[in-house]
Structure 1
Amino acid sequence: MFKSSILLVPGLGNSDEQHWQSYWEQSYHFPRVNQLDWQTPTCRDWVQALDKAVVHYAASDVILVCHSLACATMAAWAEKYGRTIKGALLVAPADTEAADFPSTAIGFSPMPLQKLSFPSIVVASTNDEYVSLARARYFAQCWGSQFVNVGALGHINSATQLKDWPQGLQLLLTLDQHR
Structure 2
Amino acid sequence: MEKLQTTATVLIVPGLRDHVAEHWQTLLASRLAKVRSVPPLQVDGLCCNARVEAIQRELEQIDGPVLLVAHSAGVLMVAHWAARYRRPIKGALLAAPPDLDADWPAHYPSPSSLAEKGWSPLPPMPLPFPSIVAASSNDPLASYAAAGVLAGRWGSELVNLGAVGHLNPASGFGPWPLAEALIRRMDSAHL
AA aligned to 1:63 is L
Deviations 1:6-43 (A, max 9, x none): 01110011131111011112222532101315874211
AA aligned to 1:19 is H
Structure 1 CA distance, aligned partners of 2:69 and 2:54? 15
Matches within 5 A, 1:35-54: 35-37=40-42, 40-54=45-59
- Aligned position for 1:148: 159
| Pair 1:173 & 2:188 matched | no
5+ residue gaps, structure 1, are none
TM-score by length of 1: 0.91
Name the Cα RMSD after superposition: 1.8
AA aligned to 1:25 is A
Matches within 5 A, 1:9-88: 9-28=13-32, 30-37=35-42, 40-58=45-63, 61-88=65-92
Q: Are the equivalent residues in 1 in contact too, given 2:48–2:118 (CA < 8 A)?
A: yes
Q: What is the total number of aligned residue pairs between the two structures?
A: 178
AA aligned to 2:122 is M
Deviations 1:43-76 (A, max 9, x none): 1111111011112113x50101000001110000
Larger Rg: 2
Q: Are the equivalent residues in 1 in contact too, given 2:127–2:154 (CA < 8 A)?
A: yes
Distance 1:39 1:25, change over 3 A: farther
